[in-house]
Amino acid sequence: MQNLCLSQGMTMRNNQRVVLSFVAVLLLLLFAGNAVADLYIESEQISRGMPGQPDGAAVLKQYFAAETVMLDLGNRLTIMNFKEEIYYELNKVAKTYTLGRLDNMGLDSLGIETQGIEHNPLLNTVMTAVAQSAAVTPTQEIRSIAGYSCRKFWVRLLMTESVYWTSKDIPGWEELRALGQRSDRAFRNNPLLRQMNILGLVRDLDGYPVQTITYIPGGGSITTTLEKAELKKLDPDLFKVPAEYKLVRKY
């Protein structure tokens, strides 16, 4: 019994990390929704004190078009197609990719099908904890960050707290502020997203996150700061899987 409880506890923590990672990426993507004009956003991410990882910095690149979003995390790419309601995850080192549906995004990372959420007690426990903990608290604090006037928000999710400094002054905010109908419809069919009310969190933040600071239990932190935002025409090939990449099974 003790080993079973230990195993369940480890699984719970692993699932929480998967969910938290998924939510962080999803929050980032949902701010763009269905942009009217092409938009490029570049940010620097600095991690400190993360368990099992050295401190370091990385450049995050986001590309937004009318019906597609591409997130470049260095060796890993995520392409989301709202028209077809699918997404790709690319491994640039192995030159492989996986394919999934937006209504199953996040759930397949936990190794279950969309329809399995009601029959997975452990997952339901995690999701209930996420839903109960998720909260956005606005403040009246204003600060200039990266040249933008930003308002401070506290965001609580699972066991983490984050500070979001958001602004409406960045180029392309008018294109970003309303979630597109296609992306909204695709994510509304996702039970994970529906239960966590991520769309509500995005609306409550009322601006693009110029800087986010996420505090990890144990003393670690991840700071992401906007460095560049440009309205410009993007190459359509950015949102396509290169021909030389091989499709592989997700898990």
The pTM of the full predicted model, rounded to 2 decimals, is 0.75
Contacts of 89 (CB under 8 A, 6+ apart): 76, 77, 78, 97, 98, 100, 250
For residue 2, the model assigns a pLDDT of 28
Buried b (16+ CB within 10 A) or exposed e, 51-83: eeeeeeeeebbbbbbeebbbbbeeeebbbbbbe
- The β-bridge partners of 144 are 149
The CATH number of residue 216's host domain is 2.50.20.10
Structural domain that includes position 243: 2-247
CA nearest neighbour of 232 among 71, 32, 37, 31: 37
The confidence score (pLDDT) of residue 110 equals: 57
Number of compact structural domains in the chain: 1
R_g over Cα of the chain:
18
Predicted pLDDT of residue 162: 92
Residues 63-94 have pLDDT tens digits of 988 788 899 988 899 999 988 889 999 999 99
Q: Helix 121-133 and helix 2-30: axis angle, to 10°?
A: 50
- Residue 85 has a pLDDT of 86
207-248 tens-digit pLDDT: 888 999 999 888 899 999 999 999 889 999 999 999 999 999
Asked if residue 195 lies in contact with residue 131, where contact means CB atoms within 8 angstroms, the answer is yes
